[in-house]
C-alpha cells in the first residue's frame, strides 16, 4: 500500500493523504495486515509508483449497507499486490 487518499465528494479539492509504503499482507513484508497511518495534506508525502483509484459504495436503501471489512487484490503483469 503506497497511500490512502480521502476526500469529500462535495469538496474534492480538499484531500487528506495517509502514506503507508508497506505491505498489507500476511504472506509478504513483515506479515502485518493492520497499520496505523498518519494524515497529511502534503501530496508529496507519497512515493513514485502506480496510482489506483478504488471506490466502495453501499446502497442507500434500508438493509443495503454493510459493516463488513472491504479488501481488494490488485493483479498485474508482475503478479498481485
Q: In the chain, how many domains are there? A: 1
Average pLDDT, the chain: 79
**Helix, strand, coil percentages in the chain from 3-state DSSP, rounded to 5:** 5, 25, 70
Q: What is the pLDDT of residues 54-67, one digit of tens each?
A: 777 767 778 777 77
State the pLDDT at residue 49: 56
Q: What is the pLDDT of residues 19-36, one digit of tens each?
A: 888 898 899 899 998 888
Domain hosting residue 41, numbered range: 1-80
- Indicate the pTM of the whole model: 0.52
Amino acid at each position: 500500500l503506497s497511500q490512502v487518499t480521502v476526500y469529500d465528494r462535495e469538496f474534492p479539492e480538499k484531500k487528506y493523504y495517509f502514506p503507508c509504503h508497506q505491505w498489507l499482507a500476511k504472506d509478504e513484508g513483515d506479515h502485518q495486515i493492520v497499520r496505523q497511518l498518519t494524515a497529511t495534506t502534503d501530496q508529496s508525502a507519497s512515493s513514485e509508483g502506480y496510482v489506483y483509484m478504488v471506490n466502495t459504495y453501499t446502497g442507500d436503501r434500508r438493509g443495503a449497507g454493510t459493516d463488513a471489512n472491504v479488501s481488494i487484490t490488485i493483479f498485474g503483469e508482475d503478479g498481485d499486490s
